[in-house]
Amino acid sequence: MENDAQNMMMEMQQVQQNLQQVMQQSEQTQNELNGVEKSLEELRTDGGQVYKAVGDLMVAKDRDSLKEELEERKEDLEMRMKGLNRKEEKLKNKLEETQEKLSQNFQ
């Protein structure tokens, strides 16, 4: 019984670590998505020359092709966010289940 409790504690810690990693990835992805959306908004309003950062350089870019690139990146990021949200939800459920089993083990 004591060994089961130790295993559940280890499992719970692993799930917590995984959840923390997924939440960090989700935050990073959301920040990048916000940046892409802001860039797309700027492309819609401004009529001047557009540039794309390539490493340390700023390179002139065709407005339509840059917009297309950003739309594709936005779509990729949205799909990633959906996957991360599903993974986060599963990990939260797993954590709750493990906590419940652990508390039942001590009763």
Please provide the average confidence, as pLDDT, over all residues in the chain.
Answer: 92
Q: Would you state the pLDDT for residue 1?
A: 57
Q: Would you state the pLDDT for residue 14?
A: 95
33 vs 64, higher pLDDT: 33
Classify residue 22: in a domain, yes or no. Answer: no
Classify residue 23: in a domain, yes or no. Answer: no
How many domains are contained in the chain? Answer: 1
Q: Which tens digits make up the pLDDT trace of 15-44?
A: 999 999 999 999 999 999 999 999 999 888
| Burial (Cβ within 10 Å: 0-12, 13-18, ≥19) of residue 73 | middle
- Say if CB 51 and CB 42 are below 8 A apart: no
| Cβ atoms < 10 Å from Cβ of 60 | 9
Classify residue 70: in a domain, yes or no. Answer: yes
Report d(CA 33, CA 37) in Å as an integer: 6
CATH number of the domain at 40, please. 1.10.287.370
Mean pLDDT of 56-78: 94
Classify residue 101: in a domain, yes or no. Answer: yes
**Region label for 96, one of left (φ > 0), alpha (ψ between -120 and 50) or beta (otherwise):** alpha
